[in-house]
Amino acid sequence: MSPRKSSQEELSKAIILDVARDLFASNGYASLSMRKIANVLQCSHGAIYYHFKNKAEIFYEIVEHDFEKLDQELHDVMSDRTTTSDEKLFLLLYRYIKFGLTNQNHYEVMFLIRDEDVKSYLQEGPNKSLQLFGEAISSLVAKPITSKEIYSIFLSLHGFVTHFCRAETNFEDIKDLSKSHAQFLIKALH
Amino acid sequence: MSPRKSSQEELSKAIILDVARDLFASNGYASLSMRKIANVLQCSHGAIYYHFKNKAEIFYEIVEHDFEKLDQELHDVMSDRTTTSDEKLFLLLYRYIKFGLTNQNHYEVMFLIRDEDVKSYLQEGPNKSLQLFGEAISSLVAKPITSKEIYSIFLSLHGFVTHFCRAETNFEDIKDLSKSHAQFLIKALH
DNA sequence: ATTTTTATTGACCACTGTTCAAACAAAAAC
DNA sequence: GTTTTTGTTTGAACAGTGGTCAATAAAAAT
């Protein structure tokens, strides 16, 4: 009919991302198709490919953006003057788990999906998290920390989140377990 | 042409599993299609559905069967009379990592894939691993171990395997890191 | 008023897992 | 030995996927 929309209803990266972000939160990567997004946007799925190279690009942009909240949160923990180093250390681990489990679909794209297209966008993201983490932890523990220990801490948290992501467990349901996991890991550091 | 094969070349669960297992080891779950399997079997893809309910069932049978090697390996560690408890504890963790990383596609089906069909088959498998693990660890440590600690150990190993599964890292390339991760976790137990 | 650029459509491609009527081989019943 | 029944395979069909692209029309530039 009309191969181009009136300027009022023209698409844009931002509009697509808004809709996709919304649907993504409840659907996840695999079961949210380009056509479903197009449907909500009231456009054809082909149009989306004018704004994004492929499906992976859309979702990576969403995830990358939303992961800044995690950075922010960890940063907040570190710059709080009312908490001790020990408390900070605990909160760092605890908040990481909390973030992962309250943004399970995000976590999946960032750390779990094995799709090659998705992975091609992930050079920076996960490493950045790891580095931030490492620096923070090092600064909180008196004893010198090796990079292997940093890895261990990070991957141990990762395993916790991954497992309960798959089980689709609410964070609220495993708050206690999260706390004890964080404490368990801290014990290994000392 | 011939809607039924001569008895010599008839399909069977076993034959399908043999071929699928082979292809699965190098292709993984997502990118190995029913049609590819049928192609190698020289039959139509429809025929496979006579022997298996769906794709997930095939792969679950493969994975379930091959995971017995892990059970066996852990059992071997425990029943070795020449190693101390401390050595056994280390080997338990180390061998788990090794198994996961030398059977990455298996590990993915058992613990990672979020597909509903796959998960419907997974009521027993992962819990069984966890339980075996818990009993073994408890028996190796003098101090009483809580179930939360068992969880922590297990999920920490899981995170390690998961991460390097995604990165498709060879176990050989991170042997050292595996060892230090195992040792890190043991430190938390004491 | 005309040309150029830009964004959208929808048909199309090559896939995917899954279903199922039809067809025929083998086994069982007669 | 013939007929019936059962078991197994085929291949077309379905509904879906991500992705491409010529045709087209609105908007912008001339």
Which tens digits make up the pLDDT trace of A34-77? Answer: 999 999 999 999 999 999 999 999 999 999 999 999 999 999 99
Fold of the CATH domain A10-52: Arc Repressor Mutant, subunit A (1.10.10)
Which of B162, B165, B177 lies nearest to residue A151, judging by beta carbons? B177
What CATH homologous superfamily does B56-189 map to?
Tetracycline Repressor, domain 2 (1.10.357.10)
Q: Which of A71, A112, A22 is nearest to B166 (CA)?
A: A112
Whether B5 CB is under 7 Å from strand D: yes
Q: How confident is the model at residue A10 (pLDDT cuts 50, 70, 90)?
A: confident
User: What is the rounded (10 degree) CA torsion for B123, B125, B130, B134?
Assistant: 110
Distance from residue A21's CA to nucleotide C5's C1', rounded to whole Å: 30
Contacts of B151 (CB under 8 A, 6+ apart): A177, A181, B130
pLDDT of residue A7: 63
Q: What percent of chain B shows pLDDT beyond 70?
A: 96
Contact A97, A160 (CB under 8 A): yes
- CATH code of the domain occupying A63-189: 1.10.357.10
Mean pLDDT of A84-90: 96
Residue A119 with chain B: CB contacts under 8 Å: 166
* Structure tokens that stand for A50 in this block: 């004018």
Give the pLDDT score at B122. 87
Quick one: how far is CA A64 from the chain centroid? 7
Chain C positions with an atom below 7 A of a protein C-beta are 6-11, 15-27
Average pLDDT for B148-175: 96
CATH 1.10.10.60 in chain A, residue ranges: 10-52
Q: Residue A26 above 80 pLDDT? A: yes
Contacts of B111 in chain A (CB under 8 A): 163, 166
**Angle ∠(A109,B175,A178) on CA atoms, nearest 5:** 45
Torsion of CA A160, A129, A25, B59, to 10 degrees: -50
Question: What is the pLDDT averaged over residues A129-152?
Answer: 91
The per-residue pLDDT for A83 is 97
Please name the helix (run of DSSP H) or strand (run of DSSP E) that holds residue A56, with its range, or none: helix A55-79
pLDDT at A118 over 90: yes
- The percent of residues in chain A predicted with pLDDT above 90, rounded, is 85
CB neighbourhood size of B76 (10 A):
11
- Structure tokens given for A42: 């009231």
Residues of chain A with CATH 1.10.357.10: 63-189
How far B76 CA lies from chain A's nearest CA (Å)? Answer: 26
Residue B14 has pLDDT above 90, yes or no: yes
Chain B residue numbers touching A185 (CB-CB < 8 A) = 152, 156, 188
Residue A150 · residue B117 · CB < 8 Å: no
Nearest nucleotide (CA of A52 to C1'): D19
φ, ψ of residue A121 in degrees (nearest 5): -90, -10
Query: Which of the four pLDDT bands, split at 50, 70 and 90, describes residue B7?
Result: low
* Tens of pLDDT, residues B18-39: 999 999 999 999 999 999 999 9
Q: Are A13 and A51 in contact (CB under 8 A)?
A: yes
Region A143-156: mean pLDDT is: 94
- Is the confidence at residue A12, as pLDDT, over 70? yes
A168: left (phi over 0), alpha (psi -120 to 50) or beta: left
The pair of structure tokens assigned to A103 is 């943004």
ipTM: 0.93
Give the closest of B152, B166, B184 to A180, CB-based.
B152
State residue A75's pLDDT score: 94
Percent of chain A with pLDDT over 70: 97
Q: How far is B160 from chain A (nearest CA, A)?
A: 5
- Distance between CA atoms of A140 and A92, rounded to whole angstroms? 10
The DSSP line for B72-96 is HHHHHHHH-TTS-HHHHHHHHHHHH
Asked if the model's pLDDT at residue A131 lies above 90, the reply is: no
Identify the H or E element spanning B120.
Answer: helix B116-120
Per the prediction, chain A carries an average pLDDT of 93
**What are the chain A neighbours of B148 within 8 Å (beta carbons)?**
177, 180-181, 184
pLDDT, tens digit, 9 for 90 and up, residues B100-141 = 999 999 999 999 999 999 999 987 767 788 888 899 999 999
Q: Using the Cα atoms of residue A136, residue A137, residue A142 and residue A147 in order, give the sign of their dihedral.
A: negative
- Which pLDDT belongs to residue A122? 87
B112, B166, B188 member nearest A187 (Cβ): B188
Q: How confident is the model at residue A6 (pLDDT cuts 50, 70, 90)?
A: low
Give residue B153's identity as a one-letter amino acid code: I
Instruction: Please report which residue ranges of B7-53 form alpha helices under DSSP H.
Output: 13-27, 34-41, 45-51
Instruction: Please check whether the domain covering B1-52 is classified as CATH 1.10.10.60.
Output: yes
Q: Tokens at residue B169, please?
A: 């890292």
Confidence (pLDDT) at A124:
75
pLDDT band at B44 (very low <50, low <70, confident <90, very high): very high
Cβ neighbors of A159 (< 8 A, separation 6 or more) are B155, B156, B157, B158, B159, B160, B161, B162
Average pLDDT, chain B: 93
All CATH 1.10.10.60 domain ranges of chain B, comma separated, are 1-52
